[in-house]
Amino acid sequence: MNAMNPADYHESDLYRIRHSTAHVMAAAVLEKFPEGKVAIGPPIEHGFYYDFDLPRSLTEEDLVEIEARMKELLKEKHEFVYEELSPEQAQALFADQPYKLELIRDILERGTDEYGEKTAEPVLSIYRSGAFVDLCRGPHVESTKEIPPKAVKLLNVAGAYWRGDSDRPMLQRIYGTAWESPKELRQYLTWLEEVKKRDHRRLIKDLDLLSFHEEAGPGLAYWHPKGAMMRKIIEDFWRDKHIEGGYDFAYTPHIGKAWLWEKSGHLDFYQESMYAAMDVDGQDYYLKPMNCPFHILIYKTALRSYRELPLRWAELGTVYRYEKSGVLHGLMRVRGFTQDDAHIICTPEQIEDEVLRVLRFSLEMLRAFGFEEFAAYLSTRPEKAVGEPARWEQAQEALRRAIDAEGLEYAVDEGGGAFYGPKIDLKIRDALGRSWQLTTIQFDFNLPERFDMTYVGEDGAEHRPYMVHRALLGSLERFFGILVEHYAGAFPVWIAPEQARIIPIADRHIEFARQVEDQLRQAHLRVSTDASASRMNAKIRDAQLQKVPYMLVVGDREMEAASVAVRLRSGKNLGAMPVAEFIEIAEQAVASHGLEA
């Protein structure tokens, strides 16, 4: 399911098919609910949707019915006929469609199309197909005969605000998908099943990695021993890399007085997403939503010289944010999480080198975890911003040059930066072709000002340092969830919580199995022996389901030869080999960060 680039997609036949299918769906819905109001219905990445204002909530059965009716309509082979209208004609045609009237007003007054995008000149165009007519800029297929009915499927219903505005009415959105052929639809549905199979919320349960507890608070993750082992491995690797990368570490508290958050501005801007204050000896304390103010306090414990810059301070800092209940999603969106945070404090002259260094560092880190495809996003100065324009300019240039130096493809989000500074975000593509934002590298012209951070320059005067926040993996929880889905739980050997499982065939082999286990443990492999009463086949099945990379079967023959019969979770059987040889193979896999071999 690799995505086309947006411009190509917009011009494609597939786009037309989906856009037209959305119209056919709207036609079917209006037949069923003649009093229904229609909003907008664009193509999206893997299909289309259409928003409706209907007299009642749609059910699963409605969807089945609507889909069946759509297929009939498609078979009737309606032409899509384009027409341009005068404002009066358009208003008359859509007199009982308030959402369309609003769109017409916008097209005329704001020069935008029905999706709110700017257009060259306002044109009120419609497409007729059968009895259905919709305000629409197109493009569409010539006729519904271009849409194979068996390549169309409705997927689900969800609520969606009119114009995406939470102050406006909630509409019902029907999501559907459409393809050029039934075969492509089947492939897409298979892909959706694969997505579901890899869902980290399922896998963290099946693999006994983490849990959540309703009784103890939503959005708060509990790391079980196996998940904790993996996290430890990730953290150890992360720390070692940071030492090599010239970072120092900090540890800071989890709570701080209101003063800190007033000073940082968090209470002004983000209070609604902070956990409520707790009263301690008559003072308000808050759980930290970010680590930066703490690092700044450390910075300010000394008069800093330009000679000690750049400072690079990293912390796996656990923060708490009160995310709205409806947005929590497994490990991907939680209320308590650990950022792989760092702050770089440097002089203006150093900024370019530092940015490039971070970017390279990030790519190296992400590659180590098996991600190979990256895309960069540069977000620049918004209308409302703090900090001198010259600094913004310099920072943006530094970011741009770093991206160029690494040869990354990137998109610019003009005016998309935070009010306090420009940033680069890096997205990775996972094994299913989905992209996830991980790394963020953000300038901050706000906090150094608010906390009056300074350093003494060569000239003996005080200067304001640059400060860059960066998180490479983002949050450990979320990164973990992404890793789980990327590998479908079959982690590379170096990360796998259990690298090898020894499977004695009969009880008389258990003692030998323990000896082997001990040898492997001495070689720093994570290993266990399945001494249960089950048969070998059941033990293998169990290890397979737990996605253990190496299964070492030991029976009479192995005991005789002091060997292990190595089975990989891929199903491949390497046969018997001396224990030392297996250790070598496993160590090789660990060192290469690869899968079992």
Partner RNA sequence: GCCGACGUAGCUCAACGGUUGAGCAUCCGCCUUGUAAGCGGAGGGUUGUGGGUUCGAUUCCCACCGUCGGCUCCA
Residues interacting with RNA, by CB under 7 A?
57, 59, 156-161, 164-166, 170, 172-173, 175, 201, 205, 212, 214, 217-219, 266, 269-270, 273-274, 289-290, 321, 323-330, 333, 418, 420, 442, 505-508, 532-538, 540-541, 544-545, 551, 553, 555-558, 565, 567, 569, 571, 573, 576
Q: Which of 423, 501, 539, 569 is catalytic?
A: 423
Catalytic residue list contains 469: yes
Beta strands in 332-381 (DSSP E): 336-346, 374-379
Exposure of 497 by Cβ count < 10 A (0-12 exposed, 13-18 middle, 19+ buried)? buried
Give all strands (DSSP E) within 365-465, no chain letters.
Answer: 374-379, 410-413, 423-429, 435-444, 455-456, 462-463
Structure letter (DSSP) for residue 333: B
Q: Which of 62, 113, 340, 341 is catalytic?
A: 341
**Distance between CA atoms of 397 and 424, rounded to whole angstroms?**
11
Structure tokens at 365: 């880190």
Report in angstroms how near the CB of residue 409 gets to RNA at its nearest: 22
Least Å from the CB of residue 273 to RNA: 4
CA dist., res. 591 & res. 597, Å (int) = 12
Cβ 79 to RNA shortest distance, Å: 32
Closer to RNA at the Cβ: 60 or 248? 60
Q: Which of 469, 486, 501, 569 is catalytic?
A: 469
Torsion-angle region of residue 460: left (phi > 0), alpha (psi -120 to 50) or beta? left
> Which residue is catalytic, options 321, 335, 391, 526?
321
Nearest distance from C-beta of residue 240 to RNA, angstroms: 28
Name the nearest CA neighbour of 200 among 478, 554, 391: 478
Residues 6+ positions from 139 with CB-CB distance below 8 Å: 15, 16, 19
187 is catalytic: no
The two structure tokens encoding residue 223: 């790391």
Shortest distance, position 216 Cβ to RNA, whole Å: 9
Kindly tell me which of 129 and 499 has the beta carbon lying closer to RNA: 499
If the CB atoms of residues 220 and 297 are measured against RNA, the closer one turns out to be: 220
* Contact status, residue 496 vs residue 209, Cβ threshold 8 Å: no
19/304 with CB nearer RNA: 19
Helix, strand, coil percentages (3-state) for the chain, rounded to 5, are 40, 30, 30
Active site residue 341: yes
Q: For this structure, is 346 an active site residue?
A: no
Select 88 or 165, whichever has its Cβ closest to RNA: 165
Which of the residues 343, 509, 567, 569 is marked catalytic? 343
Question: What is the C-alpha to C-alpha distance for residues 471 and 290, in angstroms, rounded to an integer?
Answer: 12
Q: Which is nearer to RNA, 147 or 472 (CB)?
A: 472
Q: How far is the CB of 484 from RNA (least distance, A)?
A: 13
SS3 label, residue 523: coil
Residue 300 CB, nearest distance to RNA (Å)? Answer: 20
Q: Which amino acid is at 537?
A: N
Closest C-alpha among 499, 501, 516, 500 to residue 559? 516
Please indicate whether residue 312 is annotated as part of the active site: no
Is the Cβ of residue 144 or residue 442 nearer to RNA in the bound state? 442
Our answer to whether residue 268 is catalytic in this structure is: no
- Respond yes or no: is residue 381 known to be catalytic: no
Considering the candidates 23, 62, 292, 526, report the single residue annotated as catalytic.
292
Torsion angle, CA of 12/16/18/19, rounded to 10 degrees? 130
Sign of the alpha-carbon dihedral angle for 232, 237, 243, 246: negative
Closest to RNA by CB, 81 vs 170, is 170
Catalytic residue among 172, 339, 396, 442: 339
Catalytic residues: 292, 321, 339, 341, 343, 423, 469
